[in-house]
Amino acid sequence: MADGHEGISRRNLLRAGLLAGAAAVAGCGWDGGPLLRPKLAGVSRFNDWVGEHLLLSGERLAPEWPVSARSAAMPNYHVAATTPTLEEPAAWALTVAGLVRKPMRLTLPMLQALPRVTYTVPHHCVEGWTTVATWSGVPVRAVAALAEPTDGAQHLRFDSFDRTEQGVPYYNGWDLKSAMHPQTILAYAFNDRPLMPEHGAPVRLYSPIKLGYKLTKYLTAMTFTRERPGGFWEDQGYPWLGGV
Amino acid sequence: MDAIAEAVPDAELPARRGVKRHHWIVRLTHWLNAIALTGLIASGLQIYQAFPHFGQKGNVYPVPNPFDMYAFPRWSRLGGWLAGGLQWHFALAWLFLVSGVLYVSYMLISGEWRTLLFRPRDVGPATQQQLYYLRIRKDHPPQGKHNALQKGAYTFIIALGALSLLTGFAIYKPVQLWWLTALFGGYELARYWHFVAVWLFVGFTLLHVALVFLVDPASIRSMITGWYRGRFPSHG
């Protein structure tokens, strides 16, 4: 009896030692390796599901802040080496395509003629910082109402003319619930002025319910899809939902 | 009969296997927690690296932070880069949550919470225990499974675990859970309390491990097998 008890004790001690060893290895900047990395990505997808279906409200509005709370500066960011700009800004139009009854191309004046939403909100970056700014634009759902997505449309893909030096384009995949949120807009104004090139001119995606990397700048197209599109950073391991 | 029984004086060995001290749920959740917390802190430091300040970009809050701008050494971080750190953090948070809920449920259902929860009536005994440790009081104050200072320490650490989870959710979904975020003073401060909790956990763990080894090494075995054969069997 005593011997058996000792055996269990030793086995458990050994187990605890192995786990402690694993924890020590894990502590050395380790990313999980080929064995654990796919499992971590799987948990991340489960967290996306929890975020979309249990935590996200499709209608509740993010609280708005007073204009006086605006930050002095808004960091700018793109994957290209220099700020992406259009050679012919007047020729720009947003392509609305995919699983829709009425595919269309919308110019900037056409977007500006649609219902306009303006709000001052904190911007949440995945890195952990925030900045407060005012954004104006047309709700994505107003554009969707024009294009009439079919029943098969489950996701939205937003494309950009921002691309790395190697030619890898920036893009994002969205769930419809977040895209159809009343504060998710195609923004053409920042702090009451036309959107500047460093913030995604002529039009960028904006929403206070998503982290910054989900908010596609330098938009070229929004495409309704059945399959879930990935994303520039999402494909590299950032949470796909990216909701806040 | 066996070498260990012979080495220990009979007076300190009520039964050959000692006394049963910890239920398997307590032992399991203790070690799951040790693993989860180690990984959560390491991946949390990796995440902190992306913006080692508190407050808005370019408008840092005047909160005390000795680690402002500090780059934690690579060995202390988990995940390799921000995305890896986030994946580890949001995976281990489930382990932390589930083991915490399992442990607290067991304590409530078994009634064992009575031996552990620090209540107002424990203030007097805690003072006496402290006087004893300072050698002002000569005899050891009477106690149950835990003395009043231990109750205070363990109640604190459970509350700290709850604070970590709640501040974590507050900065994970500051818009959807805006009421929770507001409870902690907004996103920036909730992120700060989440970080403060790390150092309280680190301080507690250092003290906890030091006391185990210095005062009662036999308690390690009891947290693994459940059976205690050390110097304080009456505190079973």
pLDDT tens digits, one per residue of A57-77:
999 999 999 999 999 888 889
Comparing alpha-carbon positions, the chain A residue that sits nearest to B46 is: A29
Neighbouring C-beta atoms of residue A169, cutoff 10 Å = 15
Per-residue model confidence (pLDDT) at position A20:
54
What rounded mean pLDDT belongs to chain A? 90
3-class SS of residue B38: helix
Per-residue model confidence (pLDDT) at position A220:
98
The pTM of the full predicted model, rounded to 2 decimals, is: 0.88
Put simply, whether B92 touches A (Cβ < 8 Å) is no
Residue B48 has pLDDT above 50, yes or no: yes
The residues near A157 (Cβ < 8 Å, ≥ 6 apart) are A98, A171, A172, A173, A174, A221, A222, A223, A225, A229
Q: Which of B16, B31, B173 sits opposite A243 (nearest CB)?
A: B173
The pLDDT tens digits of the residues spanning A94-115 come to: 999 999 999 999 999 999 999 9
Assigned CATH topology for domain A62-236: Sulfite Oxidase; Chain A, domain 2 (3.90.420)
The pLDDT tens digits of the residues spanning A194-224 come to: 999 999 999 999 999 999 999 999 999 999 9
Q: Which residues of A touch B174 (CB under 8 A)?
A: 124, 244
Question: Is the separation of the CB atoms in B62 and A15 below 8 Å?
Answer: no
Contact B57 A71 (CB under 8 A): yes
Please name each of the domains of chain B with its CATH number: 3-235 (1.20.950.20)
β-bridge mates for residue A172, sequence order:
A158, A231
Contact B56 A16 (CB under 8 A): no
Q: Which of B87, B191, B224 sits opposite A128 (nearest CB)?
A: B191
Residue numbers of B between 32 and 61 with CB closer than 8 Å to A: 35, 38-39, 42, 46-48, 50-51, 53, 55-59
Taking chain A, what is the end-to-end CA distance rounded to the nearest angstrom?
56
Put simply, whether A236 touches B (Cβ < 8 Å) is yes
The pLDDT tens digits of the residues spanning B164-184 come to: 999 999 999 999 999 999 999
The pLDDT tens digits of the residues spanning A19-54 come to: 555 555 545 556 677 888 889 999 999 999 999 999
Strands A185-190 and A130-139: antiparallel
β-bridge mates for residue A205, sequence order:
A186
Whether the CA torsion A30, A34, A36, A40 is positive or negative: it is: positive
Question: Is the separation of the CB atoms in A112 and A163 below 8 Å?
Answer: no
Per-residue model confidence (pLDDT) at position A73:
84
Per-residue model confidence (pLDDT) at position A22:
52
Q: What's the complex ipTM? A: 0.86
Q: pLDDT above 90 covers what percent of chain B? A: 66
The pLDDT tens digits of the residues spanning A139-177 come to: 999 999 999 999 999 999 999 999 999 999 999 999 999
Contact A56 B81 (CB under 8 A): no
- Residue B6: pLDDT band by 50, 70, 90 thresholds? very low
